[in-house]
Amino acid sequence: MKGSTFRVRGGSFLYEENTSQHFFTPEDLTDEHKMIQKTAAQFIKKEVEPYREEIENQEFTKVVELLQKAGDLGLLAHSVPEQYGGLGLDKISKGLVGEMVGRAGSYGVAHSNHTCIATLPITYFGTLQQKKKYLPKLANGEFIGAYCLTEPNAGSDALAAQTTAKLNVEGTHYVLNGTKIYITNAAFSDTFIVYAKINGVKFTAFIVEKHFPGFSLGPEEKKMGIKGSSTRSVILDDCLVPKENLLGEVGKGHVIALNVLNLGRFNLGSACVGGAKYALELAIGYTKQRYQFGKPISEFNATKEKIALMAARIFASESIQYRTAGLLEYELGNLNHSEDFTDIAEKLMEYATECAICKVYGSETLDQVSDESLQLHGGAGFIKDYKIEQVYRDSRINRIFEGTNEINRLLLPTHLFKKVVKGEIALESIVDTSLKNLSKCHPTYEGEFSIEKEAIAAIRNVFLVCIGTVYKEYNKQLFEQQETLMKLSNIAIELFAAESSLARALKNDHPLTNLLAKINVEKAVLQTEFLARQLINEAITTEARLPLVKLISNHLQTLDLVITSKEKREIADAQIEAEQYISS
């Protein structure tokens, strides 16, 4: 992939049709990918699963021991360059490891936090000396890392941080004062990426070690889930940080914080896919064993519909993840040797839209699947002896991690509007074309998926007409219309999920794959009509409202998308027979 000359601009799926044959899918995995996948899967099954209870009881010495074993296997080193003791693997491998550890609940949180947002700031923005000092230890598990951004009065608004840094009189150390809260891995971490304002103004990143004078931790938080990943406050009371531990550039901490979080969101999406697959596996296992009215409840058609819809949702989320992994690898694959922080930041930001969707769609997939799985367990699902109880509790944090889903939804249209302001996108012209397209018959496509291709084009046209309409209606006040922005984002997310699913079916023709894709396209069309009607009804108060609503509804309703109960049962039967999620 690194040698490819094909490039897709970030967020371009919103306003132009993409070429599906370039999408990376799970079916494109190489032997090397499968090897790292197998290694991670076996590690979780043989080393982590047997200690699920100890981890849940917060025996952090066991968590650290497991992290170090993961380090011995190279599972902490996938994103660390080879010259610093890592494996230097691609973003597909990163996603694969993230997915495999995602089924391990709180251990997976500790593992992913360490390999992503606690290590990548040094990987991409560290000096040569910092990389040599820290990366080998982070790669092999000798050091565990944490990431400290959130404060009592600064959450989503990270730049409102009140933690300060001041260079001492000797000019040797920065003196940090402040408190960071909800810090994952705090109890057993050795390094902490900390953000503070130099002289109360210049937002800057630092590498802080646990033994630095003035560094301490608050008590362990009592959480609903992910109990095996320590969560504490980090207290900096005249904490002395060597001058050489300033990370990146003075006043440019936001460049590190916000851009590394893009990869964190991608990684979180991968973990959620893994967790969702595990939740479905638990549901299938239970329903095959639980008999009612003389037969296993897996044979009831109502059960089968739930299983089919869970599998389809996982298929869409999985397709999104691998598509985004391919894009990220193209953009970031050769950055390990770069020292151009501006170039690094721009490349990390390129697919911010896609990474946000990975996080939002993935976390909501896990929530939906774990909820339905628990429901299929009946009363047993509420009992701690059944694993789904913990999966359900652990899943909830993911919609909050790495920027809440609400914040991520608000970011999606913002990224597009920034390109409009810069003149990179001729929005008015694109919207006019989309409006004309809605007034015409659907474009004619060939092949088995002709109607689904028409549907993707229709969703894109509706999105663009909606965004053009509200942009014209609100102008500079648009960013205050958060309800509108979220509905726009939801249409964009449905578009990306449907297109990613369809592209995968087009590339890897298989009866089961095709059915899974078709379900997701049908769902996206139904959701788009619902969201568009809501959005226009709320935004337009003039007589132009009703004709536009009718235009959109008529255009979408003429799409002859049909998924029968029989086809859903076929999907469910395949999952039940395999006793796990399968797509082909």
Listed by start position, the domains of the chain span 18-144, 147-247, 253-405, 426-578
The top-level CATH class assigned to 426-578 is mainly alpha
Q: Output the pLDDT for position 21.
A: 61
The least confident of 108-122, 267-281, 373-387, 536-550 is: 536-550
CB contact at 8 A, 91 and 325: yes
CA 307 – CA 301 distance, rounded (Å): 10
What mean pLDDT is predicted for residues 97-108? Answer: 96
For residue 4, name the pLDDT band (cuts at 50, 70, 90): very low
What mean pLDDT is predicted for residues 101-111? Answer: 96
The CATH fold of domain 147-247: Butyryl-CoA Dehydrogenase, subunit A; domain 2 (2.40.110)
Task: Indicate whether 126 pLDDT > 90.
Answer: yes
Task: Indicate whether 444 pLDDT > 90.
Answer: no
For residue 5, name the pLDDT band (cuts at 50, 70, 90): very low
Q: Give the global pTM.
A: 0.96
Torsion of CA 584, 521, 11, 1, to 10 degrees: 20
What mean pLDDT is predicted for residues 202-214? Answer: 98
CB contact at 8 A, 295 and 576: no
What mean pLDDT is predicted for residues 78-82? Answer: 94
- Is residue 193 helix, strand or coil? strand
Burial category of 405 from C-beta neighbours within 10 Å (exposed 0-12, middle 13-18, buried 19 and up): buried
- The residues near 429 (Cβ < 8 Å, ≥ 6 apart) are none
CB contact at 8 A, 512 and 571: yes
* Beta bridge partner(s), residue 215: 236
CATH of segment(s) 18-144:
1.10.540.10
Q: Cα 234 vs. chain centroid, distance in angstroms?
A: 26
Q: Output the pLDDT for position 3.
A: 37
Tell me, yes or no, if the two domains 253-405 and 426-578 fold the same way.
yes
Mean pLDDT of the chain: 94
- Tens of pLDDT along 321-351? 999 999 999 888 877 667 788 888 888 999 9
Q: Centre a 10 Å sphere on the Cβ of residue 242 and count the other Cβ atoms it contains.
A: 14
Tokens representing 307? 């299983």
The top-level CATH class assigned to 253-405 is mainly alpha
Paired sense of beta strands 215-217 and 202-209, if any: unpaired
| Through-space distance between the first and last CA atoms of the chain, rounded to whole angstroms | 24
Task: Indicate whether 149 pLDDT > 80.
Answer: yes
CB contact at 8 A, 513 and 328: no
Q: 182-221: buried (b, 16+ CB within 10 Å) or exposed (e) per residue? A: bbbbbbbbbbbbbbbbbeeeebbbbbbebebebbeeeeee
Share above pLDDT 90 across residues of the chain, in percent, rounded to a whole number: 84
Q: Output the pLDDT for position 1.
A: 45
The 3-state secondary structure of 412-451 reads HHHHHHHHHHCCCCCHHHHHHHHHHHHHCCCCCCCCCCHH
The least confident of 108-112, 263-267, 336-340, 433-437 is: 336-340
Catalytic positions:
402
Burial category of 10 from C-beta neighbours within 10 Å (exposed 0-12, middle 13-18, buried 19 and up): buried
